[in-house]
Structure 1
């Protein structure tokens, strides 16, 4: 199980990775309606970091690129997302 603190660290790395890919960052900004100021203001907010992970999880190539860049297993992003607010798997029963 991943703690919230560990998840925040990984998610912050994801934000840094995203910021290093200008085209992808612009796609994220367009998709979320956020701007560069929002990123600076919310870089430590777990809900915002969850949205970064949600975005990366939209494309397997992005998951692989981020994971490879940091030496994570490919399912790490998914597990980290679950540890942040809004990432809980719904119970459908």
Structure 2
């Protein structure tokens, strides 16, 4: 996946996350960002990566995001791998 496509998926995921009143506060708490900071930094690569890292921690969130956005449930992880710092991790 190209980085540009990954960024679009990350932005769709962020849009879904911001619209979820239960999950957004969890993300904000874990990231240490305020809603204002999230708005100001929404297109920064480290924020987009953090959003994908966060959402992909929970299969239910991934599936809810995919259903709401029309993404394939594998897209958030594929997108994360295409962004800086997201190379495949091989546990051996």
Using structure 1 for the length normalisation, give the TM-score.
Answer: 0.90
Q: RMSD value over aligned CA atoms?
A: 1.5
**Structure 2: gaps spanning 5 or more residues:** none
Q: Which has the higher contact order (CA 8 A, sep 6+)?
A: 2
Tell me the secondary structure at the aligned position of residue 22 of structure 2. helix
**Structure 1: gaps spanning 5 or more residues:** none
Q: CA deviation at 1:91?
A: 6.0
**2:18 alignment partner in structure 1:** 19
Check the 8 A contact 1:47/1:86 in 2, yes or no.
Answer: no
Alpha-carbon spacing, 1:92–1:25, altered in 2? closer, same or farther (3 Å): closer
Q: CA deviation at 1:39?
A: 0.7
Using structure 2 for the length normalisation, give the TM-score.
Answer: 0.91
List 4+ stretches of structure 1 deviating above 3 A: 90-93
